[in-house]
A and B are shown apart, each in its own frame.
Chain A
Amino acid sequence: MARMKFICDAERCIECNACVTACKNEHEVPWGVNRRRVVTLNDGVPGEKSISVACMHCSDAPCMAVCPVNCFYHTDEGVVLHNKDTCIGCGYCSYACPFGAPQFPSQGTFGVRGKMDKCTFCAGGPEAHGSQEEFEKYGRNRLAEGKLPACAEMCSTKALLGGDGDVIADIFRTRVVARGKGAEVWGWGTAYASRQAGQPPQNPQPGGTAAPGGK
C-alpha cells in the first residue's frame, strides 16, 4: 500500500506560488485560508531558498495527539484527515503542528474562529467520495479520481513532489545524484522521523555514533 508524502525541493522552488493558487482553485478555499503557502528563507539574501509548505501528513501527527475531540484520522494511504462535523475549532492542532498547517476561517461578524481547515492531500474527507458535501467541506477528492495532489502535479519546476513516498524519494534521489547537491529534504525528519543529510543525529549514542534511523 502506498504511503503518501510530499517532498519540496528547495533547490528548485522559484517561489511562483502556483501551488498555492492551484490548491485554492481546486478546492475553492475561501479568503483567509491558505492550505498551502510558499515560505522563503533568508529572503533577499543571496542564496535564499523557498519551500512550499502545507500539511505533511505526519506519521505520528501531533495534531492528532492533542485534538480533544479526536476528529483526526489516518487513511489507509497515511493521509491525515479530519472530520469537520466533530471539530470544535479550539485551535490546539494549530499550536501543535510544526508546519502551521491548520487554518481557521474567520468570516463571522465577530471574527469567530470556525472549523479547522487544512490540506487533505486532495483526498477529501469522511463524507462519501465525490459527493457535494465532501467538496463543500474538504474540497475535491483527487485521490479517489486516480489523481495526485493538484499542487504537485502542476508544479512547473517539479520542486514539489507528491505521491507514494518510495516513488517520489526515488525521483528526488535521481535528481540529487545528477546535480550533486541539495540532498536535504525539508520537513521529512519532523514529519516522518527520517534522518536526512544535513540534520543532526536524533538519538546520539554514548560514544558519539548516531543510532540507526529510517530512510
Chain B
Amino acid sequence: MPEATRKIRVQCEINGRIVSLEAHPMSRLLDVLREEAGLTGTKEGCGEGECGACSIEMDGALVNSCLVPLLQADGAKIRTIEGVADFAKLSAVQQAFLTHGGAQCGICTPGMILAALNLLSRNGHPTDSEIREGLSGNLCRCTGYTKIVESVVAACRSLRPGS
C-alpha cells in the first residue's frame, strides 16, 4: 500500500467567505475547490497549465489552479467564477459574453471570464491585440476567439462612465 502523508487544513477566503479546507498538502487547488469546497465552476481541461480552464484569481493575480498545491493557498484570497456575478446581476463581462456569443460549449468560459476580468482590472481600454495577448493563456476550441474578443470590447464600452 503506497504510503500516505497527513492531510493539512488551510484557511482561505473564497469569494468573500472564509473557508476551511482539508486535503493532502500537494493536492491541486483545482481539485480542492471542486471537491472540498463544492465549487465546480472551475474546470480541468489539460492538467498542465496550458489551457487556462482552471484559471482563478489568487491574491489578485490570475493563476492556473491546477498548478497550485493546496499548501500555498493557505491564507489566500481567492475568487472563482462563482464569485463573479452578484447573485442575479451578471457582471458586464458575463453579460457581454451572453449578448455577443462569447460562450459556445462553455467549458473554457469560467476561466476566460476570470482572465478577461483580470485583464480589465489592469488595463481598462485594451486594444484588440492587448485583449488577444491577455487571453492567450486561455484556449477555446469552439469560438475561434473572434466573439470572445468582441465580448470583451463590448464589456469595456459598457463600463465606460456615461454609457
A interacts with B: no
